[in-house]
Amino acid sequence: MNDMLPLKGLKVLDFSQFLAGPYCALKLADLGADVVKVERSGLGDLSRYLYLTDTRIAGESTIFHAINRNKRSVAVDLKSDDDKARLTQLVRDADVILQNFRPGVMERLGFGYEAVKKINPTVVYGTVTGYGSDGPWVDLPGQDLLAQARSGVMWLSGGRDHGPVAMGLPIADVLAGSALAHGVLALLYRKATQNIGGYVETSLIEVLADLQFELLTTWFNDGNRTPERSKNNPAHAYLAAPYGVYETADGHIAIAMGKLDLLATITGLAPEIAGLDAFKQRDEIKAGLAAQLKTRTSASWMDDFVANDIWAAPVMDWDGVVASGVLQTLDMVQNIERGDVAMKTTKLPLRIDGVRPSSSRAAPELGDANGLLETGW
């Protein structure tokens, strides 16, 4: 399968660190590209040491292996003229260059788009920033939590009395990496059909705006009325009852859709509560449902909900998801290795010609491909 991957032979030089840029590079690598990661001599990408727990894999973090598997590494001093000269050979022959430094840094290093284009006219050059390349926020640190705070998205999760609630994932970084991959692939098509390279840029704030496109469109067109989150069992700032997450006798259930009169029949909810306005009085309806749903187990409720076409699901933790077998059935878990490294991680969430691409290669040792600085690709 690896010989048939659509990006086989594509040469990607990745100057980026942490998550957004490397996530884009990971997607390209999984599709067959040869990704060479440019790291600082002696230290490397700081995410090598960004530990999420006390688990270390060969002295490195799990997050570094998750985001940088299936890549190679060159270790250079970007302030050294000799190292920059050796790196220039790789820059000249790269099909794609990625970077996520603050605006102006790559230009000062001599590897900005305009400089690179002079020696590699058809290069596809991708950039991720925090807030764009100009404007009032250009010099602010481009970090996921801070971008969430500035985007408005924190007022969409949680309930009315919770204050702003951050998403528990680096959603801006992941979305920015995905958006950059979309742009890179579009420019690669243009390069293949017209022999024209190009420059694609995205930012954390742009992808967070795009994430909210449905709700922002509503806000733009309904008099800029700020949505009021439900106080009880919240799940969506705009949607009516019963949409929410509810406690049961032994866990929790999420309910997305279902006629309130049918839910009342199944759960024993009082008809006068079920007859309330599902938008204006959603908290009263949810409170009534919540009281009823605590009386039975999640499995018991799910049997009735499935039988009556109520759209609901048990709220699972990771143990439950893995035990269900769904990830194994979809072939979404793989083993990766490198010397004394052996660990599990996820795979690309795509199948190509019926097969999910995979590679057993763990994240690279720092500078494992430094020979390329002498020989080229």
pLDDT at 319: 98
Evaluate if residue 333 carries a pLDDT over 80: yes
Neighbours of 225 (CB within 10 A): 8
Alpha-carbon distance 38 to 106, whole Å? 13
pLDDT at 1: 55
Helix (H, G, I), strand (E, B) or coil at 84: helix
Burial class (CB in 10 A: 0-12, 13-18, 19+), 58: middle
Alpha-carbon distance 116 to 222, whole Å? 46
- Which whole number is the average pLDDT over 128-143? 96
pLDDT at 320: 98
Evaluate if residue 22 carries a pLDDT over 90: yes
| 3-state DSSP helix/strand/coil % of the chain, to nearest 5 | 40, 15, 45
- Which whole number is the average pLDDT over 315-341? 97
Alpha-carbon distance 174 to 349, whole Å? 13
Contact indicator for 148, 175 with CB cutoff of 8 Å:
no
pLDDT at 363: 97
Contact indicator for 363, 64 with CB cutoff of 8 Å:
yes
pLDDT bracket for residue 264 (50, 70, 90): very high
Q: Which of 255, 285, 290, 286 is nearest to 272 (CA)?
A: 285
- Which whole number is the average pLDDT over 282-291? 98
pLDDT at 173: 98
Q: Are strands 34-40 and 11-14 parallel, antiparallel or unpaired?
A: parallel
The dihedral built from the CA positions of residue 108, 112, 118 and 120, taken in this order, carries a sign that is positive
DSSP letter at 355? B
One of 14, 34, 144, 173 is an active-site residue; which one?
173
pLDDT tens for 168-225 read 999 999 999 999 999 999 999 999 999 999 999 999 999 999 999 999 999 999 999 9
173 catalytically annotated: yes
Average pLDDT score, the chain = 97
Q: Which of 10, 76, 16, 1 is nearest to 202 (CA)?
A: 16
Strands (E) located in the chain: 11-14, 34-40, 56-57, 60-61, 72-76, 96-99, 124-129, 198-203, 244-247, 252-257, 311-314, 333-338, 341-346
Helix (H, G, I), strand (E, B) or coil at 256: strand
Evaluate if residue 2 carries a pLDDT over 90: no
Contact indicator for 64, 74 with CB cutoff of 8 Å:
no
pLDDT bracket for residue 54 (50, 70, 90): confident
- Which whole number is the average pLDDT over 135-145? 96
- What phi, psi does 136 have (nearest 5°)? -70, -20
Alpha-carbon distance 12 to 29, whole Å? 9
- What phi, psi does 307 have (nearest 5°)? -65, -25
Angle of CA points 167, 39, 146, to nearest 5°: 25
Alpha-carbon distance 195 to 320, whole Å? 49
Neighbours of 315 (CB within 10 A): 14
All residues at 6 or more sequence positions from 217 whose CB lies less than 8 Å from its CB, including other chains: none
End-to-end CA distance of the chain: 23
pLDDT at 3: 78
pLDDT bracket for residue 354 (50, 70, 90): very high
